[in-house]
Amino acid sequence: MPGAIYAEGLVKTFGEVRALDGVDLDVPEGTVLGLLGPNGAGKTTAVRVLTTLLQPDSGRAVVAGIDVLKHPNEVRRSIGLSGQFAAVDEYLTGRENLQMVGQLYQMSGRDAKKRAVQLLERFNLSDAADRTAKTYSGGMRRRLDLAAALVVSPPVMFMDEPTTGLDPRNRQQLWEVIQELVAGGTTLLLTTQYLEEADHLAHDICVIDHGKVIARGTSDQLKARTGGERVEVVVHQPDQIEPARAVLATYGKGEISLAEHTRKLTVPVTGGAKLLAEVIRDLDSHGVEIDDIGLRRPTLDDVFISLTGHAAELERANGEGGSTRAAKGPKEDGQ
Ligand SMILES: Nc1ncnc2c1ncn2[C@@H]1O[C@H](COP(=O)(O)OP(=O)(O)O)[C@@H](O)[C@H]1O
Ligand SMILES: [Mg+2]
């Protein structure tokens, strides 16, 4: 039996661009699929097709047991959508926006009010509740949009890059909200550019690039394919790059990559902190002076390098620009 979200051979072209190039998906009920990919990979297009907002050129999709192409209106009644671009009414206050959604879903006025208050609190918007949304910062709008998607808990939810543009605290809170939602039985398809986020929230991950699924699996499976953690070493002098490379080669479980201008070598390893201590000793005994060394978990870029042989960074040139990258830091404009 197909899952709560099912797609087969979805194709969507925009002129020359094959935004979706034969995408298959199957998300079992009550689970979270992380659709992971860089800018321009086709994530939003997939979400728009699955949520009836866009007709595919070919392929089939079934959401909550309903054929998306044949019965779009019925599908819309069974899903919630939080878009990459906030769909709030600028001229209503935050509170009014949420109450309006509640009423659209036939909640009583009283219940809609109550739910609005809960959500405003949860997304740190209580202080701004009675200001019109047009006075909100980008981050606040994003949170209002997410709150609007959560007014009712539909059986199937789509969230398109829900945490892009959120500061770390709000991101953490949203993760908690999402986890509760899923614990309540909702099936969720979530798009993200961050492996860390998919790792945290998703049961299964689909990596997409140029409209094609290039890998699927659990986070552990993907990480195993990328060779686990990374040791990153920044050497003090350019002439120490080669000796450092020789030392790292004896520990590495994959290719060593080099960022020449920053004198940074990166190598996949298994073995964690204990191994890191050994590497430091070994570099030292070979006379390699280091400015910095660390162990980090694989990122989307690492997944890409090991799957495609090139960094996801390159792909962003075709997308809408890499602005979402900056979202890693505390970038949200204040309240
Ligand atoms: N309405 C559109 N018209 C033309 N090209 C589009 C349109 N929507 C998306 N694209 C192109 O399709 C590709 C996939 O876009 P998108 O699904 O938005 O990617 P993502 O959400 O993964 O960043 C990109 O190359 C993008 O420029
Ligand atoms: Mg997108």
28 neighbors 64 (Cβ within 8 angstroms): no
Residue scoring higher pLDDT (223 or 259) = 259
CA–CA separation, 104 and 190 (whole Å) = 24
Q: How far is the CA of 115 from the centre of ligand 1 (A)?
A: 34
* Residue 259: other Cβ atoms inside 10 A: 11
CA–CA separation, 66 and 277 (whole Å) = 55
33 neighbors 58 (Cβ within 8 angstroms): no
Q: What is the pLDDT of residues 117-139, one digit of tens each?
A: 999 998 889 999 999 999 998 88
What is the model's pLDDT at position 325? 34
Give the pair of three-digit tokens for residue 57. Answer: 């050129």
What is the model's pLDDT at position 177? 83
Q: What is the mean pLDDT of the chain?
A: 87
The answer to whether residue 108 scores a pLDDT higher than 80 is yes
CA–CA separation, 235 and 289 (whole Å) = 6
Q: What is the pLDDT of residues 137-189, one digit of tens each?
A: 888 888 898 889 888 878 999 999 988 878 888 888 888 888 888 898 999 99
- pLDDT more than 70, % of the chain: 90
What confidence category does residue 327 fall into, taking pLDDT thresholds of 50, 70 and 90?
very low
Residues with CB under 5 A from ligand 2 (ion): 43-44, 84
What pTM does this model have?
Answer: 0.79
Instruction: Mean pLDDT check: name the lowest of 4-8, 10-14, 157-161, 179-183.
Output: 179-183
Most ligand 1 atoms within 8 A of CB, residue of 10, 13, 44, 191 to mutate? 44
Does residue 43's CB lie within 6 angstroms of at least one atom of ligand 1? yes
Q: How far is the CA of 319 from the centre of ligand 1 (A)?
A: 7
Instruction: Mean pLDDT check: name the lowest of 39-43, 216-220, 263-267, 268-272.
Output: 268-272
